[in-house]
Amino acid sequence: MNLKEQIRDVKDFPKAGIVFKDITTLLKNPEALNYAIDELYLCAKEAGVNKVVGIESRGFILGGAIAAKLGVGFVPVRKPGKLPAETLKETYSLEYGTDTIEIHKDAVSEGDKVLLHDDLLATGGTARAACNLIEKLGGKVAQVSFIIELNFLNGRKAIEGYDIRSLISYDSE
């Protein structure tokens, strides 16, 4: 299946000059959704993880499904103020500003092997921040997966040294 055919471009979102890669068109197609979940599962099944960490909000959708297929726990990483218990936070740069994410302090234990999942790798700031949080809690990031990778934004540099898997890549907008 050609997953690129399932991705919609939205110009000037979230601000002027950005071409947003919208996965909601992939998500509404049951064949494409199942194919993406299966492919991400195949990438992760040999990594030996015991937790999947998904980044808000689209990272939750496939991250939870991957965790269920792997038979492991799922941990959400969220925007500030969304998690009810004590958290750690990390601020990072985006291609269009800065943001902060949080994780529960008890979400990852010392020695946990973690798959980090998000929908898109752009500049790598969000993924780097999530890796930092996982490692501060004593976890080891065994793999980082994405549906989409925007090669032209060089996000791999921010998470260099990790096993990075992407289903779709774009060399230009």
Active site residues: 58, 95
* Residues 37, 69 contacting (CB under 8 angstroms): yes
